[in-house]
Amino acid sequence: MTDDHRSPEEIHEDYLRGRLASVRSDIGGLAGRLAFADELRTVTEAHGALRELGAQITAGRARGFVYQSELEFELQDAAAMADATLVAVRQEIEKDAALLRPRADELQRRAFSPRLARGVPDEGQLDLLEQEYRAVDEAIDEAEKRVLEHARPFTELVDQLRQGVGRMTFTLDLFGNAGFTQQPDEAPLVALLAKNRDAPGGEKEGVLFLSNQRLRFEAREEKVLERKFLLFASKTETVKALLVDEPVGNIAGTEASKEGVIFKDEILTVRWGRGGKTSFELLEGEAAEAWSAVIGYICSGEIEQTRVASASPNLAPLTFPEHCTHCGAPLPAPVKGQLILTCTYCKREHAGIRP
């Protein structure tokens, strides 16, 4: 520990010099803030993202994602707002910078004046400089808020569009990597990371798939095939097992709930028309209540209202015999998404036929 041999007066003088250096540094940063670079970048990046988002939507449609027609409408609305928003933001920046720059320049002049640099800074002058710096700093804060407020309707719409396009791509990638084959008239809607709490042998983690025809859960487990240095996995394999594969017509209803005291688990429970239920814990912050509503739209057919006009029309529904071709017993009525009817008496299976 070093002894401080300075007198109280010297310590106070060094303190004042430190304050001067600090306020000079703060005042020197005002000019950079008056460019409003971060705020302008937020708008220009959103403006520039529209072309790529449009390309991603087109690519998703080509890959078979035919729902969420609102994506095209959101893109159209954002494109209509883009240029006007950029002009309004630049005008607001120019106006605020013109008002605040003279105040910042005056502070800069006073903070670096030769008079203040000579000898020990005057404490009263420092108090005044710090007070006026805070006033200008707060005025710039308010100006930044005004700039962002001009941009907010546009940037929030672009953020919403990015989220929708990102979910579409994520869903298509998971469907494309699934271990099952989709039906000819099936179109993906969403894929969610989840845990099946009622899986045989205990809880299983995987992917919950929703399409316009079926609800599936595919368990996924990473298995290590080879290890390097006994610790690090050098070769792995994803083992997939389709544990749930049901026509949406077999869904009798859904329930959303939360479990836990501090960290709430989002639980989506699906009740089946044949009896019983399956509970899924949704991961990655997904809200069970929102997806419970989506399943309701799928089951009711309301989801078809979001089908894009350019998509190929749905195939004609499958037809089934009314009676078993083996024992003659009446067959149960088919439900949406069903491919095979099984006779409840002799268990003979009857595949649907498309007219």
Q: What is the Rg, in whole angstroms, of the alpha carbon atoms belonging to the chain? A: 32
Q: Are residues 204 and 160 in the same domain?
A: no
- DSSP codes, 133-179: HHHHHHHHHHHHHHHHHHHHHHHHHHHHHHHHHHHHHHHHHHHHT-S
pLDDT one-digit tens code per residue, 54-85 = 999 999 999 999 999 999 999 999 999 999 99
**Sorting pLDDT into bands at 50, 70 and 90, what band is 215?**
very high
Domain CATH number, residue 207: 2.30.29.30
Q: Is residue 148 domain-shared with residue 26, that is, in the same domain?
A: yes
Identify any residues that bridge with 189 across adjacent strands, giving them in sequence order. Answer: none
- For the chain, the domain total comes to 3
Domain with 135 in it: 8-176
Report pLDDT for 262: 79
- Give the separation between CA 14 and CA 243, rounded to whole angstroms: 73
Residue 279 and residue 332 in one domain: no
Both 153 and 197 in one domain: the answer is no
pLDDT (0 to 100) of residue 338: 63
- Check whether 246 has a pLDDT greater than 90: yes
For residues 115 and 155, state if they share a domain.
yes
Write the pLDDT tens digit of every residue in 111-133: 888 877 677 788 888 899 999 99
What pLDDT does 354 receive? 66
